[in-house]
Structures are given as structure tokens and as C-alpha cells.
């Protein structure tokens, strides 16, 4: 596999690693207990240029390619909290890419630039109480009245939802038009009728806030329509690709870190007269796990390479089926790999692994989200089959 990173990428990587190890890691135990990390983390990441490195300079970014986002995701996992990583990646790679792609000059100034600076926290509003991976089943409506849209509905499982400054919101502007009746609105959270219904308790990712949002007769200015009315479903399908791709990259790096830390533990943990990593059964298991992790990295990097070429070199707005298929395969494969790594490494730690004080218990809880969030593994298989003409 060719080396995709330049000296500039590696300098950026060092910045992110230092931020993760020196400014995040020492605090994550408290943030996990608080079930929230401070808003200042977004601002600090923005100051360091971490959030927008792969965005155009005219949009408030660093002007780099997508490999900058890969380096960011690979190093943020060193912060020791998937919840913090999740919150930051939603800000930089999930709620904002479509604003860069579709936004007007005014929208970029009002929403994107403050988000990349970490000054305005962003959330992505897709899932609803009755619609998750099947985004076409959403019920939130936006009815055009003069120069405004009147929005009614609810969103759930919204990361950054309790403290966001705006939501990139999927809604139905024409409920009778099927896929062609869905649009995206940029909805400031301080508008009358926008409320955080509740903060949700989760199995893992405790440091990230996850909310259920209610919108009752929220009057959203029509100028906050992103792109064209009725094209939101198709925009979102493209936006999903960056979400799934960065999730695969991040989880692969996290699994590698988990393996390395577990092996280090096994060198020191004695059982029946020698370190447990010297037991052949565990050596063979770790060989399998490292091999799976390397395969996951190769598949993810191949998907990134294709994505990077189509979006940054060829300037395509719509990704080819080949790239969508490869991204879906990467997320599917990485989800299974990372689950196996977390489970095997917890077993390797024995009783210590079942204790909250041990890092692997947090990894085991947090990792389970990957096969659900951003489209379940079952949906990935459906999409892959569809792109293959089955």
C-alpha cells in the first residue's frame, strides 16, 4: 500500500496527537463521569485548525485534502474517549460537509465558518423516534409560508444535541413527493419552538451528549434552505459517505490502539509462571486480530483514496457507485473487526477487563455503536448488494 501522507500531513498529525494526549486524555475520566465534555474543547480544536483542515480556505478551512481528516481521526482516538471523538467528528465530518458543498456564501459565513472555528456547535438531525436507517420514513415537516418554513417534528439520537448552535436538519417539504419531497434546512437552536426534549442515556460514548429534539411551529427563514428544495435525500446520501468513511478510519485506528495496549498489559500480567502473552493460544488470537486490523486499514485507505480522487481531484459532486460500495464495505468490515477486537481484548484482561477502571471496558461499550450509527450493518449489506446489481 503506497504511503498517502506527506510531510504536511504528518506535521498536522503531530498537532492532533499532542492535543489528544495532553489536552483530552488527562480529563476524559471526569468527562465520562459527567457525561459531557466542555464546549471549550470545540473552540480549542478550532483554534488549532483541527476541525477544518480538509475544507477550502475560503470556507474557513486549511485547504487540505481528505487525508488530513484521516490523520485527525486516527490521532483523536488517543484521547481515550470515543464520546469526545464522536462529538468532534460530528462537528467536522458529519453535520458540516454538505454546507461546504451546497451552502450559499451567506450560509457559509453564518454557519460553516463558526463551526470550523469551534465557535458554533453543530448537530446533524436525521434520525427520528420512528425512522432511523430508513431516512425516507422521516415525519418532520417544513411547510413554506411566505419567506419562512414552519417546521414541526422530532429528532432523536442527536449527538451534540443538548448544546448545539444549529442543526443540519432533514425534513419533508412535500410529504407526498417521496424521495423528491425531502429537503435540508439549517436550523438555529435559539429559534422559538426549538426545544431539547431530553438528554438520552446511552450504553457507551458517555462523554458525548445525545438528545431528543422537538420542533413545534419553528419559523425557519427560507434563506436557510440548503441547496435545492426536494433534493435533500440525495444530498444526504452523499453526506453519509463521509460519515461512514471517517467512522471506519477512526474505529480502525482505535482497534489498533486497543490491541497495542492489550499486548502491553499481557507482557506484565503473569499467570502460571509466565506472561500471558507468551501463551500460544493468545499469541495466535492476537495474530488473527492484527491481521484483521491491517486488512481493515487497507480497505479503508483504499476507499479514502478513491473518495479523495473523485471529490478533490476530479471535483465530482456525486460519487460513483464503485466508491459508495467500497465505503459501505469498509464500514461493514471495520464494524465486525472492531467488535471482535474489543471482545477478545476484554476476555484477555479477565476479571480486570470487566471493571470500569480498566480502559477495555469502555472500549467494549463504546465500540458497539459502529454497527448501528450512520446506517446499520444490515443497511450496508443492502447498499452493497444494490450497487452490485443484485
Residue 5's φ and ψ, nearest 5 degrees, are: -100, 130
Alpha-carbon gap, residue 349 to 345, rounded angstroms: 6
243 is catalytic: yes
Residue 244's φ and ψ, nearest 5 degrees, are: -70, -35
Alpha-carbon gap, residue 288 to 254, rounded angstroms: 17
Q: For the chain, how far is it from start to end, CA to CA, in angstroms?
A: 30
210: which strand partners?
159
Alpha-carbon gap, residue 289 to 283, rounded angstroms: 10
Alpha-carbon gap, residue 117 to 114, rounded angstroms: 5
The 8-class DSSP code of residue 166 comes to E
Cα–Cα distance list, 239 to 136, 204, 306, 352 (Å):
15, 25, 16, 40
Count Cβ atoms within 10 A of the Cβ of residue 270 and give its class: 0-12 exposed, 13-18 middle, 19 or more buried. exposed
Residue 198 near residue 75 (C-beta atoms within 8 A):
no
Residue 116 near residue 60 (C-beta atoms within 8 A):
yes
For the chain, percent helix, then strand, then coil, each to nearest 5? 60, 15, 25
Which residue among 23, 75, 243, 313 is the active-site one? 243
Sorted by sequence, the CB contacts under 8 Å of residue 275 that are 6+ apart come out as: 266, 267, 268, 269
**What DSSP letter does each residue of 58-105 carry, written as one string?**
GGTS----THHHHHHHHHHGGGS-HHHHHHHHIIIIISSHHHHHH--H
Q: Beta strands 122-125 and 166-172: pairing type?
A: parallel
3-state secondary structure of 290: helix
Active site residues: 243
Amino acid at each position: 500500500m503506497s504511503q498517502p501522507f506527506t510531510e504536511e500531513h504528518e506535521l498536522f498529525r503531530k498537532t492532533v496527537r499532542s492535543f489528544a494526549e495532553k489536552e483530552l486524555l488527562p480529563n476524559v475520566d471526569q468527562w465520562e463521569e459527567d457525561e459531557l465534555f466542555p464546549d471549550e474543547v470545540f473552540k480549542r480544536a478550532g483554534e488549532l485548525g483541527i476541525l477544518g483542515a480538509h475544507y477550502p480556505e475560503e470556507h474557513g478551512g486549511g485547504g487540505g485534502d481528505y487525508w488530513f481528516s484521516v490523520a485527525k481521526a486516527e490521532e483523536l482516538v488517543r484521547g481515550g474517549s470515543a464520546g469526545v471523538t464522536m462529538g468532534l467528528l460530528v462537528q467536522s465530518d458529519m453535520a458540516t460537509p454538505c454546507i461546504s458543498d451546497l451552502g450559499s456564501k451567506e450560509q457559509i459565513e453564518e454557519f460553516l465558518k463558526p463551526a470550523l472555528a469551534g465557535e458554533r456547535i453543530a448537530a446533524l438531525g436525521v434520525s427520528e423516534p420512528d425512522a432511523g436507517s430508513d431516512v425516507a420514513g422521516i415525519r418532520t415537516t417544513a411547510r413554506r409560508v411566505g419567506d419562512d418554513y414552519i417546521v414541526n417534528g422530532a429528532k432523536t439520537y442527536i449527538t451534540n444535541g443538548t448544546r448545539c448552535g444549529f442543526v443540519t436538519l432533514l425534513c419533508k417539504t412535500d410529504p407526498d413527493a417521496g424521495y423528491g419531497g425531502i429537503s435540508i434546512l439549517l436550523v438555529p437552536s435559539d429559534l422559538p419552538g426549538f426545544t431539547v426534549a431530553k438528554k438520552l442515556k446511552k450504553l457507551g460514548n458517555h462523554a458525548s451528549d445525545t438528545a431528543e429534539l422537538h420542533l413545534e411551529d419553528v419559523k425557519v427563514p427560507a434563506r436557510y434552505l440548503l441547496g435545492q428544495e426536494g433534493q435533500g435525500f440525495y444530498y444526504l446520501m452523499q453526506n453519509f459517505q463521509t460519515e461512514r468513511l471517517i467512522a471506519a478510519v477512526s474505529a480502525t485506528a482505535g482497534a489498533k490502539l486497543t490491541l497495542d495496549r492489550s499486548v502491553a498489559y499481557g507482557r506484565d500480567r503473569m499467570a502460571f509462571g509466565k506472561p500471558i502473552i507468551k501463551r500460544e493460544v493468545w499469541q495466535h488470537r492476537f495474530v488473527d486480530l492484527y491481521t484483521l486490523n491491517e486488512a481493515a486499514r487497507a480497505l479503508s485507505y483504499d476507499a479514502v483514496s478513491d473518495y479523495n480522487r473523485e471529490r478533490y481531484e476530479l471535483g465530482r459532486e456525486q460519487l460513483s457507485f464503485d466508491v459508495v460500495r467500497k465505503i459501505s464495505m469498509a464500514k461493514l468490515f471495520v464494524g465486525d473487526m472492531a467488535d471482535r477486537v474489543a471482545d477478545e481484548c476484554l476476555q484477555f484482561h479477565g476479571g480486570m477487563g470487566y471493571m470500569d477502571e480498566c480502559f477495555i471496558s469502555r472500549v467494549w461499550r463504546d465500540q458497539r455503536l459502529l454497527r448501528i450509527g450512520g446506517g446499520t450493518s444490515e443497511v450496508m449489506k443492502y447498499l452493497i448488494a444494490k450497487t452490485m446489481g443484485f
